[in-house]
Amino acid sequence: MSRRLGRYISFGAVFLISFALWVTAAQSKTATTVPAGDVLFKPSPVQEEAERYLGRYLMQYHFRRVSVNDSLSQEVLSRFLDQLDETRTYFVASQVESFQKEIGNNIDDEFLAGKADAGFRVYNTFLKQAKQKMHFMIDLLDTARFDFSVNETFDLKRNDAPWPSDMAELQDRWRKEAKYQVLNLKYSGEEPDEKPREVLLKRYKNRLSLLEQQSDEDAFRAFNYALTTSFDPHTNYFSPLDYENFQIDMSRSLEGVGAKLQNENEYTVVNEIIPGGPAFRGGLLKKGDRIIGVGQGKEGAVVDIVGWRVNDVVQLIRGKKGSVVRLKILPVSQGNKGPAKIVEIVRDEVKLEEQSAQKEIIMHNGRKIGVISVPAFYLDFEGQKQNKPDYKSTSKDVREILAELKKEGVEGIVLDLRNNGGGALEEAVKLTGLFIPEGPVVQVKNSHGGVMVLRDKEADVGYSGPLAVLVNRYSASASEILAAAIQDYGRGVVIGGRTFGKGTVQSILKINRPFNFFYKKNDDLGQVKLTIAKFYRISGESTQHLGVTPDIVIPSFIDPEKVGEDTYTSSLGWDVISPASHSQIGRLSEGDVSFLREKHFGRIHSDSLYARYVNDLDVLNSFRKKEIISLYEPDFKVEMDRIEGFEAQWNKEEEPDMLLMQSAAIVSDMADLLQEGFAGRDVAPLQANGK
């Protein structure tokens, strides 16, 4: 690893592990826009220079050693087409064939030369087709009369479908899409005081206006997103303005709803719910939700934002502390397929105290089971650097909570890491160290093959009793490191759903050009966030892609087809390196874990609440898997009523409480084993000092 690269890698940089790119579009002050005519975008000299440096940085520093050849070229083209037109509603087959034939094998050559002409050609065609579609949809709503008594259907999932053969087939798809949207508005209750046609007409005209305002920066950024994410999904290019917004977001200084957003095709998608923010506290917004509209206050009109730049959406959502913003979303819980619903959030600052670890006690069969919820791995880097006695950190807070819980006489601990997307790597190591003796916690392998072992250096154990780690699909990065270490040491059991599978490390590098007196300040070339390393368990297995599989699986309402590292086609693969030398604690043998699993399954077999939960999950999965919906109005209304009825019931369910109760029961079983003596090794009785 070069000395220059090393300067950028610190715990502060590694803190970025859990944060995906939330701003992928913003307009440059110097960008040119396309007028109503057929003027085409082309890369500017500054953009071409940035492209040359971007290629060098990717080739020199990225963990994945990519062969720059025709195969990469075709992959980038395919990704770019899917990115622009996932639902196959803009391009026709002849256009795609032309791209594949004429530029499909040229992108790699342009990549090495610092060119982006091929990407601009695709984007210009997309922009022309998108404008044509909006004109068609506007004319359709003005003139057509839909017949909802006809028995025809609309395909909700089209990413694997063939491209339309010609414009006639494409326009028929547009007609059905408009028909579906009219029905959806009519029966979703989104706009009860307006006619669906009028609402859609305003939306289409607004989208056409946005398309007319596109710039060469939009084309450059969109193509580079396809290029960089072909290396892996967490590698991205930041223009100077993109990076400025990224820094603002990381500082969490502006008032808003506390959510990170990103673009996926035409949609603004919730990428992360920030612990301690308004969305986190309210629980109404979920990772993966699509935001399609924003309204100010309790009564303000909801502005359709489909197709907007993320930067513009963020500006619309941010506002004065204490004010209300209403978000119209397509919930990820129902596969983003509708009907839409409105969530109301009071803007506020991210409250650090609400990121802090919290405790509670659950009673099970007369036993006190302590629950410690850790929403993020936080660390006051400046306070630590200045050696302030009261600086905030996850491990410090949890150590204090453990002491309190032991004084209250708990007989087991559930460490709740659900929805914890990661944070400070240092804290993941220190928090693991509260439950194990001195030893390795995680291995980090860089792009040159070097392996560094991060160790807990404290011989003191903060807690030695029965322990379970509760995780779900949103548990990522640092959470996976801790869960894997607890599992590998045999220190406790992992409960819940398979984790996210993000076992990679990112760092941000500023694109530096050689000093030249003639370069202007506004010719800044931007920054690159790229993947430079991978995490590995002490067993040698990576946490990348596959995540951590729980010892005892409890199904979740989170859709694994929408959430997780394995949902990204370019994610780095799972692999194995040599294990780190460590002493097996042996508190839980495989036989002990099997016993706990059997006890759990025996218990839920007669649990009516759990049975209803599983039934609801089956119903929800049937909604998610539905790819074709009827446009025959009576059938459409029945389907919408079913979904809305289910959503209303599900929103009342206490899923976290149910999962915690199941986890507490398992820990209670572990306490029984403790009394009998673990099969793997006897454990000393739990004492107040944790030893």
- Do 342 and 389 reside in the same domain of the chain? no
Q: Give the pLDDT of residue 35.
A: 41
Please state the domain count of the chain. Answer: 3
> Among 451, 476, 446, which Cα is nearest to 543's?
476
> Among 341, 352, 413, 412, which Cα is nearest to 379's?
352
pLDDT in tens, 331-378: 887 777 767 888 899 988 776 666 789 999 999 989 999 999 999 998
- Do 483 and 437 reside in the same domain of the chain? yes
Radius of gyration of the CA atoms of the chain, in A: 26
Q: Which two tokens stand for residue 232?
A: 């892996």
- Do 562 and 460 reside in the same domain of the chain? yes
Identify how many contiguous H helices and E strands the chain contains and give both numbers: 21, 19
Q: Which amino acid is at 513?
A: R
- Do 587 and 438 reside in the same domain of the chain? yes
> Among 336, 269, 262, 326, which Cα is nearest to 293's?
326
- Do 452 and 565 reside in the same domain of the chain? yes
* Residues constituting the chain: 691
- Do 585 and 438 reside in the same domain of the chain? yes
- Do 414 and 545 reside in the same domain of the chain? yes
CATH number at residue 267: 2.30.42.10
In the block, residue with structure tokens 């390795």: 440
- Strands 467-471 and 302-304, bridge-based pairing: unpaired
- Do 342 and 358 reside in the same domain of the chain? no
Expressed as residue numbers, the domain containing 63 is 27-237
Residue pair 532/484 in contact by the 8 Å Cβ criterion: no
- Do 135 and 31 reside in the same domain of the chain? yes
Q: Which residues contact 667 (CB under 8 A, 6 or more apart)?
A: 364, 369, 412, 413, 414, 466, 467, 468
Active-site amino acid positions: 477, 488, 502
Count CB neighbours of 460 within 10 A: 13
Domain final position from 320, 346, 372: 346
- Do 202 and 325 reside in the same domain of the chain? no
Q: Give the pLDDT of residue 245.
A: 58
Domain final position from 311, 346, 381: 346
Q: Which residues of the chain have pLDDT under 50?
A: 1-36, 248-254, 517, 519, 521-522, 653-656, 679-691
- Do 430 and 530 reside in the same domain of the chain? yes
Burial class (CB in 10 A: 0-12, 13-18, 19+), 549: middle
- Do 283 and 428 reside in the same domain of the chain? no
CA distance 124 to 222: 11
- Confirm whether 281 is domain-assigned: yes
H helix or E strand, kind and range, residue 55: helix 45-61
- Confirm whether 682 is domain-assigned: no
* Dihedral sign computed on CA atoms, order 201, 206, 207, 213: positive
Q: Which amino acid is at 16?
A: L
Count CB neighbours of 500 within 10 A: 30
- Confirm whether 642 is domain-assigned: no
